[in-house]
Amino acid sequence: MTSPNATLQIGGQSIELPTLRGSLGPDVIDTRALGSQGYFTYDPGFLSTASCSSSITYIDGDQGLLYYRGYPIEQIAEGSDFLETAYLLWNGELPNVEQKQEFDALVSQHTMLHDQMLSLYKGFRRDAHPMAVMVSIIGAMAAFYPESGDVADAKQREISMFRLLAKVPTVAAWSYKYNKGEPFIYPQNHMGYAENFLYMLHATPCEDYQPSPVLARALDRIFILHADHEQNASTSTVRMAGSSYANPFACIAAGTACLWGPLHGGANASVLAMLAEMGDVSRIGEYVNRAKDKTSGFRLMGFGHRVYKNMDPRAAIMRQTCYEVLDELGLHDDPLFKMALKLEQIALEDDYFIKKKLYPNVDFYSGIVLRALGIPTSMFTAIFALARTAGWIAQWNEMIVSPGHKIARPRQLYTGPQRRDFVPVSAR
Ligand code: ACO
């Protein structure tokens, strides 16, 4: 089926704009020719703009669907693991047994950081935020692997992709260890990806730590759920930075910096803070009423999403993971989880939330799982960054190899002064 053209009537002129049809989702009006006609579109925040074409991730916010390369997130979270998910995001297809073994082995060969990087860590204050450290260390890797700057070379791109995926857990775990004043724990290559990360966080030289398979699996699922989410702010940042053929480590550092912002990563920590402040199920009504009162400036944390106007499919998976983790740890009566369940039930039956299509998002339950895994809130965004690295790399590579690649160069609606003559300071 062909898509109809759109016609733009402006200043007595009629401009025909083709529409493009993707494999799923709404048609997209192709405005590329407008610039040559002297017009630009104005869309701050990209509310109505597709910034690229991509075959990696699909979201239908009205129906609450999330697909990685066509596979529903529920099926991937149930049947796959994070490294296989990364393989899928990068390559477009699921690996066979040999391909999976080879991929896992390659990742495990790159987990150590260059020894000189220890000096970089030691330059930070002990109370440095883990995200500040991650942005710096990931960016600094460009200095350790200068050949990675040759982004036209497919082999170099591939090595950088593996290095990033493999080293980011070590970078994140060490930023936490440095905060705590504990020695860095080296990665164990025989361990699974999430298992190894928990080990590097919680083991010390004098005490071993072996995470239970249920807990490692829960963290792996958090990684899967956060691995990609199409053209969100941090992914768009990675693409924007990479569009100039910048070094990939610098691009991922840029994405990490963007994710750090409270409007992007970090809402799960706010959910925990809100539940802790609430303190008891008896106060849920009070908080729901505050969230509905526009003058309060308060919002129910973990509710609502720019794209999902239905249940965030990741939230339902996270809720189930909460049950599994708390069960494993014998925390059946976890008060925060009980409050979260009740709050979800009350909000979903409330007219305000129904009318505004405000449903729990992935952050609503993920903080409870991370807390149960012994991970402090200061590390929540770092874990998001670790997982999203898989998607950032896939999107970066897709952009680099896309035919007709162009540097990203948005235009603007200028609102400053018109031409005027400079006046020397003595005459002002
Ligand atoms: N509690 C109460 N009211 C809300 C909430 C909420 N959590 N979220 C949105 N609303 C209301 C707004 O007040 C607004 O009402 P109005 O139309 O009467 O003015 C309406 O719903 C639409 O809200 P917007 O802010 O315009 O929606 P937007 O798509 O820009 O924002 C966002 C989405 C930022 C996620 C918002 O829902 C929010 O602040 N939620 C709480 C924070 C949160 O959970 N963030 C995590 C997002 S998921 C992620 O980043 C992985």
pLDDT tens column, 152-196: 999 999 999 999 999 999 999 999 999 999 999 999 999 999 999
- CA angle, residues 176, 179, 185, in degrees to nearest 5: 50
Question: How far is residue 7's CA from residue 183's CA, in Å, rounded to a whole number?
Answer: 64
Residue to mutate, 287, 300, 354, 356, ligand 1, most ligand atoms under 8 Å from C-beta: 356
Point out the ligand 1 atom lying closest to the alpha carbon of residue 271.
Answer: 44
Kindly tell me the burial class for residue 381, based on how many C-beta atoms sit within 10 Å of its own C-beta (0-12, 13-18, 19 or more). Answer: buried
Question: How far is residue 133's CA from residue 204's CA, in Å, rounded to a whole number?
Answer: 21
pLDDT tens column, 362-401: 999 999 999 999 999 999 999 999 999 999 999 999 999 9
pLDDT tens column, 306-321: 889 998 999 999 999 9
Point out the ligand 1 atom lying closest to the alpha carbon of residue 264.
Answer: 50
Q: What is the mean pLDDT of the chain?
A: 95
- Predicted TM-score (pTM) of the model is 0.94
Question: Catalytic site residue 202?
Answer: no
| Residue that has been written with the tokens 């950081």 in this structure | 113
Report pLDDT for 79. Answer: 97
Sheet with 71-72: list strands edge to edge: 57-60, 65-68, 71-72
Q: Which residues contact 223 (CB under 8 A, 6 or more apart)?
A: 82, 85, 193, 194, 383, 386, 387, 390
Specify whether the CB–CB gap between 41 and 50 falls below 8 A.
no
Question: How far is residue 271's CA from residue 286's CA, in Å, rounded to a whole number?
Answer: 16
Residue nearest atom 36 of ligand 1, based on CA coordinates: 304
Point out the ligand 1 atom lying closest to the alpha carbon of residue 265.
Answer: 50
Report pLDDT for 2. Answer: 63
Catalytic residue among 305, 312, 327, 334: 305
The CB density around residue 256, as the number of other CB atoms within 10 Å, is: 32
Any residues with Cβ below 6 Å from ligand 1, and which?
A: 264, 267, 291, 299-306, 356, 358, 361-363
Report pLDDT for 129. Answer: 96
1 pLDDT higher than 80:
no
Specify whether the CB–CB gap between 300 and 343 falls below 8 A.
yes
Question: Catalytic site residue 305?
Answer: yes
Q: For the chain, what percent of residues have pLDDT higher than 90?
A: 91
| Residue that has been written with the tokens 């200043």 in this structure | 11
pLDDT tens column, 267-294: 888 899 999 999 999 999 999 999 999 9
Report pLDDT for 264. Answer: 87
68 pLDDT higher than 70:
yes
Report pLDDT for 12. Answer: 87
Question: How far is residue 69's CA from residue 92's CA, in Å, rounded to a whole number?
Answer: 6
Specify whether the CB–CB gap between 130 and 382 falls below 8 A.
yes
Kindly tell me the burial class for residue 211, based on how many C-beta atoms sit within 10 Å of its own C-beta (0-12, 13-18, 19 or more). Answer: buried
